[in-house]
Structure 1
């Protein structure tokens, strides 16, 4: 998000920031003028992804500075805000007109991950099979306890804001590509979205790339947190693609599992993705690592993922760190300043 350096309030200068970008990395618009977007190139190695994450943040940071703002990796507006400023593009105007308050309250920032797949058929198998493992990614990346000047009581309030969209959340299993296409077309035909870009399933087939797109995580302030979520996501995709056998999960139960992850982060029990019971976050993480151990070994990420989880347990999730700053400094303005500082340090 784009923040005024003096007040900490969001500032609607994304058009100027995008025009100011001189870096090779992508700097793009989003739904609101208070947001800015970047992405990484496709990567195979964790170190390359880390370099890409830092380069993208440096690009948006420098572009924001040229527009008189700071780029801050925060998932929700921390301070009380008065007005929404939609980016003046025809598609965004349509979204505003069609979806009203739901669109106006969607000023949030997420982290989406694309993982390549061999075919659409494999992609649908992954979409169906990966669902019970996704709440852990919500918990690991939880970075949005505050909304408009209030503590929401959640670790990831962004995910709850986004869940209001009619296509958002854990879809029912599709079974095959034809069913995925038919359900998607029916949803759009009923007005649940303007186009395929508004199919906000937790995980979906990407429209323009041979990938599945996992869409459950908050934007992380610290790049090491983002890397942990991305490495686990890739390993889960590879594991499900190699062995599509999966337990049958009801979508409504998965919605509750996602809510628990959003509510507590790593501080409370999560839903065990195999045994369908409440379990400590560490046990759920260990079950997830065991599930995709072979994929993590093949990518060389097993030790890194385990060490990153221990670091996250020791330091706390992004949500925990934000609350710690408020407790010590006594103001949400200090929380924004800390987020801005850590964002800028993340590309150093």
Structure 2
């Protein structure tokens, strides 16, 4: 069954408006992180049968664009009218994180401005530079890791990631408590429009802090459950070989993210029999003591699934070979 001409025209108008809103956000420096997200496909018994890349369609972006607009408009209105609110704040990254990010980005052949605090637009320009390149997903992930965590607060401290002067959550009151509290404050202001009614800031701040804490716990529970299903899935692929990218290094080995299934695993340094490898923190690499062979962040490798540990939600890989970018 198709859609009517009226609905079709309305959707096309909304799409045009959404693209305009997106451009406004892009021009002010809002971040658009292109990080592949895994979607685990389960059978009727709950066993993982596939891991796919989660789709982000234009329809998803359209809804997102208008939700962001609604949240910003309500935040601006509440601040103008000096109403109590729970804002969604995202503070700038701390200096230690930005310096580490600068060093890593330089190691993979790109640059960020020095001598001043990073602005959202600096990071977005970097993301635009790497779009479509083999290191795009890697750089998007390290940029994300360098950012502060968004949280709730009664103070409007702006939103770094959206490059927004004021932002809150208003659009989902049936599933997020901060949204419901914002709705309540807006309704109170209309009922008592002849006088300024301040919400109990102490109570609101307590709610904001509790909501932030519970959000982090929920996110961790989700990550843990997805990781468990990833490990269960890889158990069925023991001995098989995959291509991936080195996404992290440590004294005990390097981490690889698989291209196909977005699964992370460790190549332990003890499994590299050709040399004794040491961590070079400045180079973001492990380097052989005798042969000086190096494995650094961004390198592409072929690995074999050697071990899985469902209890620890952990996958071990064995290195097959280092690959050239063209492979």
Structure 1 length as normaliser, TM-score? 0.27
Q: Which has the larger radius of gyration?
A: 2
**TM-score normalised by the chain length of structure 2:** 0.28
Higher helix share: 1
Higher RCO (Cα < 8 Å, 6 or more apart): 1
